[in-house]
Amino acid sequence: MKRPTRADGILARLRKICRALPEAREIESFGRPTFRAGVKPFAVLEEYRGESCLSLRVSPSDQKALLHDSRFVSTPYVAQFGWVSLLLAGPLDWGEIEDLIVSSYREVAAKRLIAALDRGA
């Protein structure tokens, strides 16, 4: 039997946060857990230079600000589309991660899904 790893615990928490969002679903894309609002991805658990990271879609102004924080890097191949990656080494602030996920969801979700989120659905 496989022993749970830190990555398993991180994925479990990400699933709880992401699946609570209206009509969010998880698929595997390029071998990585990818959370989507409809067909558009808003969170991906992946690796950057051998380190676990969470890739998220953000606004251009947030992208610029977040990249000044050493915990964030430009997401390879998709940074030009507003993606950043939060390196998941060290202690994690799950309140901050949840805020980032919800913000990313709002960047890509259809208006009706955002309205459902705002209603608390």
Beta strands in 14-105 (DSSP E): 24-29, 32-37, 40-48, 51-57, 72-74, 83-87
Q: What is the mean pLDDT of residues 35-41?
A: 96
pLDDT surpasses 60 at 43: yes
- pLDDT of 7: 81
pLDDT surpasses 90 at 45: yes
- pLDDT of 93: 96
Decide: 97 and 86 in contact? Cβ < 8 Å.
Answer: yes
Q: Which fold has domain 6-114?
A: Aspartate Aminotransferase, domain 1 (3.90.1150)
- pLDDT of 121: 57
List the domain boundaries for the chain.
6-114
pLDDT tens figures, 108-119 = 999 999 999 999
Residues in the chain: 121
pLDDT surpasses 70 at 89: yes
pLDDT > 90: percent of the chain: 84
- pLDDT of 2: 67
Decide: 102 and 35 in contact? Cβ < 8 Å.
Answer: no
Residues 6+ apart with CB under 8 A from 48: 73, 75, 76, 85, 87
Q: What is the mean pLDDT of residues 52-69?
A: 96
pLDDT-derived band at 120 (thresholds 50, 70, 90) equals confident
pLDDT-derived band at 53 (thresholds 50, 70, 90) equals very high
Decide: 42 and 20 in contact? Cβ < 8 Å.
Answer: no
How far is it, in rounded angstroms, from Cα 97 to Cα 85?
Answer: 11
